[in-house]
């Protein structure tokens, strides 16, 4: 099957800079990416890892930037790496859209893609709730 991408997004009533600051801090993942894992740790070399049901998963964000780009690479326990595009796009001064690009992995069934899309959509909804209800990120 050829490559396929789904763009999943949510609008958040917060400044893009606030959303970017919150999402770019891996320590915040357990508060909004509930399906990913419950514990996030940073090793001495600066790499971040999350404990998942499938094993320890590493992840690395792109360098901090002013464009809202939060692309990251996930390193799965079997050594496979997955590139994940993620963007925060300003929509005025106090609102933004966060867009997650979900790509169909080789051999992924329609049902698996739809399941993953549902998980990502849930995580984005939780992120929206957390950021709209909470104080400004530090």
pLDDT tens string 8-44: 999 999 999 999 999 999 889 888 987 776 788 888 7
Q: 95-106: buried (b, 16+ CB within 10 Å) or exposed (e) per residue?
A: ebbbbbbbebee
Task: Please provide the DSSP assignment of 116-128 as one string.
Answer: HHHHHHHHHHHHH
Residue 27 burial (10 A CB sphere; 0-12, 13-18, 19+): exposed
Task: For the chain, list the domains and their CATH numbers.
Answer: 5-133 (3.30.530.20)
Q: Is the pLDDT of residue 138 over 70?
A: no
CA dihedral of residues 12, 18, 24, 27 (deg, nearest 10)? -100
Per-residue pLDDT, averaged over 59-68, amounts to 93
The pTM for the full model equals 0.89
């Amino acid at each position: 099957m050829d490559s396929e991408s789904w763009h999943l997004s949510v609008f958040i009533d917060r400044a893009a800079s606030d959303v970017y600051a919150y999402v770019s801090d891996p320590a915040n993942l357990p508060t909004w990416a509930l399906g990913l894992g419950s514990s996030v740790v940073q090793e001495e070399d600066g790499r971040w890892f999350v404990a998942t049901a499938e094993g320890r998963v590493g992840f690395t964000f792109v360098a901090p930037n002013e464009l809202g780009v939060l692309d990251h690479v996930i390193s799965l326990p079997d050594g496979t790496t997955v590139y994940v595009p993620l963007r925060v796009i300003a929509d005025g001064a106090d609102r933004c859209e966060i867009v997650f690009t979900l790509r169909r992995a080789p051999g992924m069934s329609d049902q698996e893609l739809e399941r993953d899309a549902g998980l990502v959509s849930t995580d984005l909804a939780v992120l929206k709730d957390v950021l709209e209800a909470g104080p400004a990120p530090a």
